[in-house]
A and B are shown apart, each in its own frame.
Chain A
Amino acid sequence: MTIRTRLTLWFAVVSVTALLVMAVGTYVEIAEQMHHHHHHGPDEHAVRETTEMILEAGLPAVLLGLAGGWWLMRRALAPVAKLTQAVEQIHAGNLSARLPHSGNGDELDRLTDVFNAMTARLDHSFQHIREFTLHASHELKTPLTILRGELETALHDPQATAAQKERLAGQIDEIERLAKIVDGLTLLTKADAGQIVLKSEPVRLDELVRECVGDTRILAQAQEIQVGLETCEEVTVAGDRHRLRQLLLALADNAVKYNQRQGRVNFSLQREGTCAVFKLANTGPGLPAELQARVFDRFFRGDASHDSAIDGCGLGLSIAQWIVTAHGGQIHFVSGLNAPTTVTVKLPWLA
């Protein structure tokens, strides 16, 4: 129940009670006067008349009061509704925005001040976290470079045995993986902070898709996965060529990695209304519905999280989502138990 309804109801109860008290009081008063004059019971007729009078005059007054109260309440609470709307607009991405001040110097202004101070503190904390991640990834790179260099030098030591070399090479692989994770984190942190400026030039999306299909065929060969291109309509979007290629390859790589032997990967690109719609379906095992919403989360790897045969840093889809959003598009992931897993990307196309 809203404050407004509750207060109005209370107001109604109070008014009606007052009316009743008034009626009872009047009744008692009349009864006493009758008693003094005639020494017998109250005149039924006079009592009914008086009660009717009170109700006829009182009820409209109460109703008018209620309507007025409802209206007053709305006036009084309007700034609260406005404030609520403004607060609803706040999310991690626009913490630097401030709520508007009414300038009345009332309680609500004070509340607005408190809210603004709170978002300012949150904004500060978020910035701290971002800076921390950026610094952390930068600091990690130096020891990784040194470690890599030293392992590499050891690897080329003519006295090292084959078994030692194998171990060293394995360690270098792990360092490369770490470096990839650090790169991905740096990229996403910079994107969060709005530090990455994307180009906006006309890009033939169909050409990028064809190129990606070629690379995917090669990637899919080892697992005998068939790669198909259903439709590929000519469509130009405004965007950053490099990032769009990165997007397609990240999705294609995912579709191959989380597939089964002799499975299928299907590409399609179509124009629908004002959008270029890119779809990528694969015959992977799929994800249960409760996990699907999390596929774009950083480091989410579904059931494969403990499967070291599938390598990857767990940031591919997060990066894909960022690229799509930064291009003003949408990305969806749908997976069914017996249906293909499909990723759909919609990007506004350039006429």
Chain B
Amino acid sequence: MKTVVLLSILLVAPRAFAHHSFGAEYDSAKPITLTGVVTRIDWSNPHVYIYLAVKGDDGHLVNWALEGHPPNTLRRTGWTRSALKETDAITVTGWMSKDGSNRMAGREVTLPDGKKLFLGPPAQ
């Protein structure tokens, strides 16, 4: 098994944020899935941010920021700038931030039509 793991590490090209290491900002031990309504999209560098209004247990809306790859990488992996718009209801998986703020590293977004797109790298 060790051999398989080691070879996998060596042969698989790195998948990471180009701008910073995953572990500097996000906690791989804290996966999270959120469903909410898109309130804003920053199609910006060095990261795209999607802001999501999520209804909490008490019924109040909480705004979350989802960090993803930069626009060029997303365009090359299947996104377009119009793939998502404000008021769209989406579900996103990812990992929570380490600083306790309502931020997460987005991994996969399920769009309103059910299509799934990768937003960022896997936890590392």
Q: Do A and B bind each other?
A: no
User: Which A residues have a C-beta under 8 Å from some C-beta of B?
Assistant: none
User: Which B residues have a C-beta under 8 Å from some C-beta of A?
Assistant: none
